[in-house]
Amino acid sequence: MSAAPKPMSGVLSPVVTPFAADLSVDMPRMVAHCRCLLDADVGLAVFGTNSEGNSMTIGERTAVLQALTEAGLPADRMMPGTGGCAIPDVVDLTRTAVRMGCGGVLVLPPFYYKGVSDDGLFAFYSEVIERVADERLRLYLYHIPPVAQVPLSLDLVGRLLDRYGSIVAGIKDSGGQWDNTASLIERYASRGLQVFAGSETFLLRTMRAGGAGCISATANVNPAAIVDLHGCWRGADADQKQAALDRIRTMFAAFPMIPAMKHALALATGHEGWRRLRPPLLALPQEQQSAFAQVAQKVGFALTLNAI
Amino acid sequence: MSAAPKPMSGVLSPVVTPFAADLSVDMPRMVAHCRCLLDADVGLAVFGTNSEGNSMTIGERTAVLQALTEAGLPADRMMPGTGGCAIPDVVDLTRTAVRMGCGGVLVLPPFYYKGVSDDGLFAFYSEVIERVADERLRLYLYHIPPVAQVPLSLDLVGRLLDRYGSIVAGIKDSGGQWDNTASLIERYASRGLQVFAGSETFLLRTMRAGGAGCISATANVNPAAIVDLHGCWRGADADQKQAALDRIRTMFAAFPMIPAMKHALALATGHEGWRRLRPPLLALPQEQQSAFAQVAQKVGFALTLNAI
């Protein structure tokens, strides 16, 4: 049996998922995009929110993990999203990821019921961890209240650390509230919790506070510059670099994020299929494509994109 | 090939799901509870919100449908919840239900992404209907914004009716806003849409306005009285009967609904296992069990429960 993976850090991306005309996963293109990201030193948080991970079945996600590892991509650079509403599904995919040697798994809270208690969420994560029953499991919590509408409180994180120690390896904070990320680092980084900002907007602050890095959608389309700031955040020009990242992020945030990133990838690769999303998400409408072109030119985005 | 099922109406219940000690579905007890409900003339909306349907995998839900039909329960009285976030999952379970002869399927919108467009939701339901590709499909839309946080607008319902006619057979309105239910009936009942209130609180108003009935959680624990009002809503004592239903409903609504119903079933059947829920939901805490007993005595609830 292999050893437990090391703590993950740096820049990861919820890898956007390319779909074929019948909306099945376009595996060769998925492998190729993942390779590009790895070449830029971006880790693979496949099946994240911006990957349309929850729009894919457990079977489809398992097949993607198999395709990636069979293509020779390193599993220890993967942090697949394995969360869901049904415990047996979460256990199933998490087990697969652990056995494949993934560096970790990123686990949403169950997101159907709202207003659930910390006790209930603790019981959910406990069931998952105890059913997977593998010391190699490294579970990264996924706090994203704007989408899941089910927050993970600071206290809950502490309770899970108390009970499960190093198995609860980190957290991605996509709440968009710096105070919460800062509190997570302050309270739990010294206990080994790897705290990731959910966007590179908070990357410099996260590094200065003692966090692990960021897991950010826009690392799909601006990987080199984000990785660069992570590598030299102590440099004199770090604030300038952060400002440059912010301009690109702001540009994408002015559009529906996933359609805009897929549109950018279609432009960069010449492959129209990149524009496909699974409903309820839809491709960037024609009029927004024109608006995107204008803004991209203004901030000099095309050059950055060509780098991947 | 069998004919398309007839429009469903009357009283249905999102059947609460009994779990064994390992949290697997307790099939014999599930069959028995469904039989009780059918005996009281309550239809089986298995895998609803109050069934913890989204806490069960597609495989588990398929197995339950098989167990119910193999036990001889009539599929045309079943309206399983087949919604989810991943289209292939929804198509898979919906096809199973149609082939088994289910009276209909109750389909949530995909509930992970928030703020999605009507166009996106239309595309989601279109993909499901066109992939199932079976004229016997009778799809009931499930509007439950307090939980799913993804509403189905009046316009969207109209567009789906325009495009898919009798395949879009009805809607369950669990929004808790009478005006919306009234508008659904006013606009679409004449076109064949079966409009169900999401709670018996609105049953009399729904029937007077020309709706089809209700699909209500508390039909698990108060079936006879709800069915009685549905049967004789034109009677002189209908308002009194509605008021009696409201007293029971209000009692349950003062507690977490699913744990309270399971507690009531544990009391009525003497089977402690009824108290189990899948996390993130939890059993009714001890102190609330005492409070429940007091209120139940006050409104004379035990008698009603004994009737099932």
User: Does the pLDDT value for residue B225 go beyond 60?
Assistant: yes
Lowest-pLDDT range, A26-35, B1-10, B108-117, B243-252?
B1-10
Spell out which residues of chain A touch residue B54, defining contact as CB-CB under 8 Å: 85-86, 110, 112
Q: Is A237 on the interface with B (CB under 8 A)?
A: no
Instruction: Give strand pairing partners of B168.
Output: B139
The angle at the Cα of B109, spanning B105 to B112, to the nearest 5 degrees, equals 135
Note whether ipTM > 0.90 here: yes
Q: What is the number of other CB atoms lying within 10 angstroms of the CB of residue B265?
A: 22
Q: What is the pLDDT of residue B300?
A: 83
> Which of B86, B114, B279 lies closest to A56 in CB terms?
B86
Among A170, A169, A172, A192, CA closest to A4:
A169
Find the CB nearest A280 among B57, B110, B278: B110
CB-based contact, B126 to chain A, within 8 Å: yes
CATH topology of domain B10-234: TIM Barrel (3.20.20)
Q: Domain extents for chain B?
A: 10-234
**β-pair type (A213-215, B10-13):** unpaired
Contact: B117, A86; criterion CB under 8 Å: no
B32–chain A nearest CA distance, Å = 24
Query: What pTM does this model have?
Result: 0.97
A306 pLDDT tier (thresholds 50, 70, 90): very low
Query: Is the preceding omega at residue B14 within 30 degrees of 0, hence cis?
Result: no
For residue A22, pLDDT over 50 is answered with yes
Quick one: tokens of B135? Answer: 């004229």
- What is the C-alpha separation between B87 and A78, in angstroms, rounded? 25
Q: Give the pLDDT confidence of A237-268 residue by residue, as tens digits.
A: 999 999 999 999 999 999 999 999 999 999 99
Structure tokens belonging to residue A254: 């002015």
pLDDT tens digits, one per residue of A167-198:
999 999 999 999 999 999 999 999 999 999 99
> Mean pLDDT, to the nearest integer, of B77-87?
98
The neighbouring-strand residues paired with B81 are B106
> Is the minimum CB–CB distance between B281 and chain A shorter than 8 Å?
yes
Q: Is some CB atom of chain B closer than 8 A to the CB atom of A117?
A: yes
Contact list in B for residue A121 (CB cut-off 8 A) is: 279-280
Torsional class of A300: left (φ above 0), alpha (ψ -120 to 50), beta (otherwise): left
Portion 22-61 of A in contact with B at CB < 8 A: 23, 49, 54-58, 60
Q: Which of A54, A150, A282 sits opposite B85 (nearest CB)?
A: A54
Cβ distance B147 to A55 less than 8 Å, yes or no, reads no
Whether B89 and A57 lie within 8 Å, measured CB to CB:
yes
Q: What is the pLDDT of residue A224?
A: 95
CB–CB of A279 and B123 under 8 A? yes
Which residue among A49, A88, A113 places its CB closest to the CB of B60? A88
With beta carbons less than 8 A apart as the criterion, state whether A96 and A65 touch. Answer: yes
Mark which residues 251-280 of B lie under 8 Å from A by CB. Answer: 278-280
Whether residue A308 has pLDDT greater than 60: no
Give residue-wise pLDDT tens across range B1-42: 678 999 999 999 999 999 999 999 999 999 999 999 999 999
Interchain proximity B54–A119, CB inside 8 Å: no
Q: From the CB of residue B74, how many other CB atoms can be counted at a distance below 10 Å?
A: 14
Look at A127 and B279 and tell me if their CB atoms are within 8 Å.
yes
Evaluate if residue A270 carries a pLDDT over 60: yes
Give B105-136 as a DSSP string.
Answer: EEEPPP-SSSS--HHHHHHHHHHHHHHH--TT
- Of chain B, the percentage scoring pLDDT greater than 70 comes to 98
Residue B287 has a CB neighbour count (10 Å cut-off) of 8
CATH superfamily of A10-233: Aldolase class I (3.20.20.70)
How do residues B122-167 score in pLDDT, each as one tens digit? 999 999 999 999 999 999 999 999 999 999 999 999 999 999 999 9
How far is the C-alpha of B134 from the C-alpha of B155, rounded, in Å?
A: 25
Q: What is the pLDDT of residue A1?
A: 63
Average confidence score pLDDT of chain B:
96
Give B58→chain A minimum CA distance, Å.
9
User: What's the pLDDT score for residue A112?
Assistant: 98
Closest residue of chain A to B279, computed from CA coordinates: A124
Beta strands A194-197 and B168-173, pairing class: unpaired
Nearest to A119 among B49, B85, B282 (CB): B282
